[in-house]
Amino acid sequence: MPHVDAGMAAGTEAGDLVEIAHAKVNLALHVRHRRADGYHALESLFVFAEHGDLVSGHARPDGMLNLRLDGPFGPALDSGPDNLVLKAARALQAYIGEERGASLTLTKYLPVASGIGGGSADAAAALRLLTRLWDVPIGRDELERIALSLGSDVPACLFSVTQMVQGRGELLQRRTVEGLDGAPMLLVNPGVGISTARIFAGWDQVDRGPLAARDMEQLIVEGRNDLEPPAVAEAPVVADVLAALRSCVGIRLARMSGSGATCFALFDTESQRASAAASVRSAHPGWWVAETRIRAA
């Protein structure tokens, strides 16, 4: 996953606006209960990688929307009306009450259905881009309401900063945890897609307590991902990824992100991360491995 300068994105046309859809990582994910509306009440600490997908585009005078897919994981997606980028565009059109047009490109560097918020981050990036492109006067609360209508993780992805996320994703609190900003991070996906709905359905419905993240040590010792057991049952290779990461020298924390199958590891130094990446790539050449850092708040 290359680190792309948003102003020099490959495949964009001169004058295109560009937004980076930063990969979302759940450093911890506690499932508390199932709500009356069918959603699960969650507590999660979200951080964002410096890397991600790219959404770019320019205005069309005819009021039409079109989406082109590019990048290594572009072929895994459909550019039709169910794509979250186009859903985001239509939602913003509905808000402003007119069909302004745009030609959009999604350059997909993140694996699909991988637990790092790829689709949600893409939708959020599309909202950011189109509010600029169409000069939409919209407040933060209203933009978050539109984002939530697109998916539970989309509001948090709008600003891509470290935050505590609660409810189904509508309760956001910016959070500073010493030592996280700029921390070297390794992302590994074994190449399997996992259904979020199936993983939540497999949760054992046991409330193991709230999430506290006063500092990194508490996050490591008391944090967890309650979706890891059902994900491992669905895709046992997730356990292999975690074992590979936890055997690396210099590791501070390794967990699964979201509903999987991507797992992450945090390190003290970039050299430790690089050595771990080389080791994982050598042992598992078919896995997707990305060296990145936690985006500063």
Please check whether residue 241 lies inside any domain of the structure. yes
Please check whether residue 169 lies inside any domain of the structure. yes
- In this structure, the answer to whether residues 94 and 196 fall within a common structural domain is no
- In this structure, the answer to whether residues 32 and 88 fall within a common structural domain is yes
Q: Is the pLDDT of residue 14 over 90?
A: no
Looking up residue 289, the CATH number of its domain turns out to be: 3.30.70.890
The residue annotated as part of the active site, out of 16, 70, 153, 226, is 153
User: Would you call 153 a catalytic residue per the annotation?
Assistant: yes
- In this structure, the answer to whether residues 92 and 112 fall within a common structural domain is yes
Dist CA 158 CA 38 (whole Å)? 24
- In this structure, the answer to whether residues 250 and 140 fall within a common structural domain is no
Boundary residue ending a domain (127, 144, 174): 174
What's the mean pLDDT in 14-33? Answer: 95
Q: What does the pLDDT read at residue 11? A: 52
Please check whether residue 127 lies inside any domain of the structure. yes
Can you list the positions of beta strands (E) in 178-218?
184-189
Q: What does the pLDDT read at residue 8? A: 41
Q: What does the pLDDT read at residue 15? A: 82
What's the mean pLDDT in 29-47? Answer: 94
The residue annotated as part of the active site, out of 16, 24, 53, 122, is 24
- In this structure, the answer to whether residues 133 and 209 fall within a common structural domain is no
Q: What does the pLDDT read at residue 99? A: 87
Please check whether residue 168 lies inside any domain of the structure. yes
Q: Is the pLDDT of residue 66 over 50?
A: yes
What is the DSSP annotation of 82-105?
A: TSHHHHHHHHHHHHHTS--EEEEE
- In this structure, the answer to whether residues 118 and 10 fall within a common structural domain is yes
Please check whether residue 1 lies inside any domain of the structure. no
Dist CA 123 CA 150 (whole Å)? 8
Please check whether residue 81 lies inside any domain of the structure. yes
What's the mean pLDDT in 60-64? Answer: 93
Q: What does the pLDDT read at residue 7? A: 40
Q: How confident is the model at residue 38 (pLDDT cuts 50, 70, 90)?
A: confident
Please check whether residue 196 lies inside any domain of the structure. yes
Tens digits of residue pLDDT in 108-125 = 999 999 999 999 999 999
Boundary residue ending a domain (174, 207, 224): 174
Boundary residue ending a domain (174, 196, 224): 174
Mean residue pLDDT across the chain: 94
Q: How confident is the model at residue 297 (pLDDT cuts 50, 70, 90)?
A: low
Range of the domain at 162: 6-174
- In this structure, the answer to whether residues 191 and 158 fall within a common structural domain is no
Q: What does the pLDDT read at residue 153? A: 95
- Written as six digits, the tokens of 95 are 């808000």
- In this structure, the answer to whether residues 122 and 258 fall within a common structural domain is no
Shortest CA distance to 115 belongs to which of 22, 194, 54? 194
- In this structure, the answer to whether residues 46 and 159 fall within a common structural domain is yes
Q: Is the pLDDT of residue 72 over 70?
A: yes
Q: What does the pLDDT read at residue 5? A: 44
Number of domains in the chain: 2
With a pLDDT cut of 90, the percent of the chain lying above it is 89
Q: What does the pLDDT read at residue 12? A: 60
With a pLDDT cut of 70, the percent of the chain lying above it is 95
Please check whether residue 179 lies inside any domain of the structure. no
- In this structure, the answer to whether residues 167 and 193 fall within a common structural domain is no
Dist CA 245 CA 272 (whole Å)? 12
Contacts 24+ apart (CB under 8 A), 90-94: 90/65, 91/127, 91/146, 91/149, 91/150, 92/127, 92/130, 92/131, 92/134, 92/136, 92/146, 93/65
- In this structure, the answer to whether residues 225 and 287 fall within a common structural domain is yes
Contact 52, 123 (CB under 8 A): no
User: Would you call 24 a catalytic residue per the annotation?
Assistant: yes
- In this structure, the answer to whether residues 32 and 91 fall within a common structural domain is yes
What's the mean pLDDT in 140-164? Answer: 96
Contact 153, 267 (CB under 8 A): no
Looking up residue 160, the CATH number of its domain turns out to be: 3.30.230.10
Dist CA 6 CA 77 (whole Å)? 22
